[in-house]
A and B are shown apart, each in its own frame.
Chain A
């Protein structure tokens, strides 16, 4: 018999007891088990789901915290340093990203005759994919693939990485809504950097403001509708 002590979407803090019993599936690294009791270890929103077999799945959506890379994540990075055969990329995380030359060029590369600076320089922003990260080494990045590569236009908005799921929304509902309302193109990096490309400066400002609004109100409900209203209001105010 499982007993749940918190309501879904309520705020939990380190040390709070979440549930007790055996029929519980834990789906978060931020839940600790002591005996048959489960405790939260981070500030976040509780998420409880009853599974088909009657068990409860509990997890915590963190409200704060750093970005920890995961293979498959799309991130937006800033090139910080150039080595002989790799670039070092700041990905707004405790770990710096490594982009090797093999993940950029399709042909063989000879460091004796060629310079990496030609392809990517310090200060360039890139959209990249995390291909490997095993905690013993720094995360390996790649820019081979559709939509990946150097960023040549648009603005970058930086938010807390913990707010990214909210900006994307359920199955992309939030980001799709913003794109539809404004006609802008948005690339959301899992590390909290968001690339915004708009037809004009006014729309870009509206998008940036609405992303900032989502960041500030990430733990509230009914946010998509409020943001939609906000965008429409701002658009009429600016006459776009």
Chain B
């Protein structure tokens, strides 16, 4: 995420709706509203599992290979599978070309995403193997790590890898003193705080929580609640899209 440059645009305007003052964001969304979300699974035929996830302008492609033989062999663990994650931003994903080499930020995000997935994947079912998860940000507009984690979890489910639950993620931010759900690039650049959260909703577990900026204790509690609601919506969409993959074939089968 780039820092703020130039003059700060107006990001929140207050409008009177049904006799109440509500905060409206620069793109017309309300504070607790997600961007339009689109998901698709099985988009790549060569990978064992794949998914494409869009949060507004953010677009992430995830591919899963495995479980397969671990190379190099010394990486393999005797009692479980190793999960290897690669979060990467395509050079053309940002307004200014990004060098294709992995940056320090990408290395860190690969690690936090891997740790989130390790908490749900039943790695002990496949000892001495490796599960590779590749996430490629095709277009970046804020919230790429949470979109990547949502896509990775869908791709894992598509590959038939056992997981305790699906993982969904969303970022909450504080813009002009207002807590907002699913912040985008502009909001992120001028935000007072940015907090990506990923959860396994059915297990009721938080798998990723990072916070950039400052929130008071009360704000943090509110922000978590906002994130939880957003994640529930995304989680439902994930299940719908996975189910749809098989329902479509059933219909083609002429039932």
Residues in A lying within 8 Å of B, measured CB to CB: 11, 13-17, 29-30, 32, 34, 39, 41-43, 62-66, 68, 94-96, 135-136, 162, 216-217, 219-223, 226
B162 at the interface (CB under 8 A from A): yes
Please measure, in the bound complex, the distance between the C-alpha atom of A34 and the C-alpha atom of B129, giving whole angstroms: 26
State which of B69, B159, B249, B253 has its C-beta within 8 Å of the C-beta of A64: B159
Name the prevailing secondary structure of the A interface residues. Answer: loop
Query: Are A221 and B255 in touch, CB under 8 angstroms?
Result: yes
Give the docked Cα–Cα distance between A30 and B126 (Å): 12
| Distance of B98 from chain A, by nearest CB (Å) | 33
Partner of A63, one of B126, B164, B246: B246
Q: Which B residues between 226 and 255 are near A, CB-CB below 8 angstroms?
A: 239, 242-243, 246-247, 249-250, 252-255
10 intermolecular pairs with C-beta atoms under 8 Å apart: A11-B243, A13-B166, A14-B157, A15-B163, A15-B200, A15-B239, A66-B66, A94-B128, A217-B253, A222-B255
Task: Please indicate the chain B residues that have their CB under 8 angstroms from the CB of A41 in the complex.
Answer: 122, 162-164
Q: A13 CA to B67 CA in the complex, in Å?
A: 19
- With A14-B165, A94-B126 as known contacts, state yes or no: A66 contacts B160, CB within 8 Å: yes
Contact with A along B33-73 (1 / 0, CB 8 A): 00000000000000011000000000000000011110000
A13–B69 Cα distance when bound, in Å, is: 26
Q: Does B202 contact A (CB under 8 A)?
A: yes
Q: Which of A32, A219, A222 contacts B249 (CB 8 A)?
A: A219
* Interface footprint category on B: 35 or more
Contacts of B243 in A (CB 8 A): 11, 13
Question: Are A62 and B160 touching (Cβ within 8 A)?
Answer: yes
CB distance from B118 to the nearest CB of A (A): 15
Cα A223 to Cα B92 in complex, Å, equals 46
| One of A64, A96, A223 near B49 (C-beta < 8 A) | A64
CB of A29 within 8 A of CB of B125, answer: yes
Chain B residues with CB under 8 Å of A15's CB are 163-166, 200-203, 239
Asked if A13 and B164 make an inter-chain contact with CB atoms under 8 angstroms apart, the answer reads no
Task: Decide: A216 and B242 in contact? CB cutoff 8 A.
Answer: no
Does B91 interact with chain A (Cβ within 8 Å)?
A: no
Contact A220 B166, beta carbon cutoff 8 Å? no
- Is the beta-carbon distance between B67 and A94 smaller than 8 angstroms? yes
With A14-B166, A43-B158 given, can you name 5 additional A-B contacts, CB distance below 8 Å?
Answer: A15-B203, A30-B162, A41-B162, A42-B160, A94-B68
Task: Give the shortest distance, in Å, between A137 (CB) and chain B (any CB).
Answer: 9
| Pick from B126, B157, B252: contact of A68, CB under 8 Å | B126
Q: Which of B202, B203, B253 contacts A220 (CB 8 A)?
A: B253
**Residue among A29, A30, A65 facing the most chain B CB atoms (10 A cut-off):** A65
Residue among A68, A96, A135, A219 making CB contact with B69, cutoff 8 Å: A96
- C-alpha gap A232/B66 in the complex (Å): 38
Bound state CA distance, A85 and B146, in angstroms?
Answer: 51
Q: CB-CB < 8 A to B164: which residues of A?
A: 14-15, 32, 39, 41
Kindly state whether residue B177 has any CB partner on chain A within 8 Å: no
Chain B residue at smallest Cβ distance from A68:
B126
